Chains A and B, each alone.
Chain A
């Protein structure tokens, strides 16, 4: 069975500083990894995914994530945080032909 851990419930960062939201996973076989963002009272929006290929994946709104197979991690990063990045972020994983399993979410707060 697959699982996802987001070890931080909350991440606070100053505007303009780099941000990292952590994610580790467990899955049998090759992982399919995703990041989603949720703004208040909205559904989830897709940010980026890793299926295969380059370990550094670039996505929407300047976000990127690095796949690290040995550490089973897929941390979300952005070089310079904006106040508008404040939201709830979800990491998700699946094996082939299985539904996504989501982490519990990390609330990012960017302070001006």
Chain B
């Protein structure tokens, strides 16, 4: 079975802190994705990556950056966390053109 793991299930940070969310997949998938999920808004794509060291902006990249130094790992970075970034963050991976497999999510609260 494909496994996508995220470094934390729950995270509490203060406004202005730099926040790292880590995602690791174990199935050698080329594609990796970061979404945020908010009630009534569904899932919105922040960034995605089709290969190591490649990244593409999604629908809401402002305030975020990403890093993909290794194929299995895709990190989401909040350079200076703000309260409007309080959300559930979901990581996913897939083979090219195939369905996405999701991690359990990280619920981030920014105070």
Q: Which residues of A does B touch, CB under 8 Å?
A: 9, 32, 34, 36, 41-46, 49, 90, 96-97, 99-105
Q: Which residues of B does A touch, CB under 8 Å?
A: 4, 33, 35, 40-45, 48, 58, 90, 92, 97, 99-105
Known: A99-B33, A99-B58, A105-B42. A46 touches B104 (CB 8 A): no
Let me know if A43 and B99 touch, CB within 8 A.
no
Residues of B contacting A: mostly: strand
Let me know if B42 and A42 touch, CB within 8 A.
no
CA distance A45 to B90 in the complex (A): 12
Contacts of B58 in A (CB 8 A): 99
Let me know if B4 and A46 touch, CB within 8 A.
no
Let me know if B43 and A43 touch, CB within 8 A.
no
